[in-house]
Amino acid sequence: MPRDKMTPTLVAMTQTSEDPRLPSPSVALDDQLCFALYAASRAMTARYRPMLEELGLTYPQYLVMMLLWEEDQQTVGQLGHRLALDSGTLSPLLKRLTSAGLVTRHRRVEDERSVSIALTDEGRALRDKAFAISQDMICALRLDVDDFADLKQTLHVLTQRVTEAPRSS
């Protein structure tokens, strides 16, 4: 969205508005956006856990598999970038997926420093079962299509803004 079309920021609005929907300066836990996001993330992950256990996957492994179902044969760097994970976190996760027979890892011929990850037939076969999990989660959220799309877009915008925001010292 172009900056000239954006609504005023909450900081500017709190300085000029008496709108009760706006956050008041508070350190109360329930007033914090970060806590609401944290609690929602934990609740979503907990909801996924039993369904993913049936597939033999953890939630982070499921995320890797989704990226590979979207586009097979990606480098560790590409996967890490998309998932915002460093190689120290991603490598053990990929080793477990390799041990489970879901992916293969091999050095790229064109750049031996780079490791490529590809789905095995067993990994590809898991896709349809995982699709059912995704559909079950959408139903469990009880959001209509517009609310679902709006929430997802809002979270993408939030992630981008948090990532781009200057860090305080």
Every domain of the chain and the residues it spans: 29-140
Mean residue pLDDT across the chain: 87
CATH code of 29-140, in short, is: 1.10.10.10
pLDDT at residue 1 greater than cutoff 60: no
Q: What is the per-residue pLDDT across 105-124, written as a single tens digit (0 to 9) for each? A: 998 778 778 899 999 999 99
pLDDT at residue 69 greater than cutoff 90: yes
User: What is the rounded distance in angstroms from the CA atom of residue 77 to the CA atom of residue 33?
Assistant: 31
Please, how many CA atoms are within 13 Å of residue 8, restricted to the half-sphere of its CB?
9
| Predicted structure pTM score | 0.78
| For range 9-13, the mean pLDDT | 52
pLDDT at residue 160 greater than cutoff 80: yes
Please give the structure tokens belonging to residue 111.
């750049």
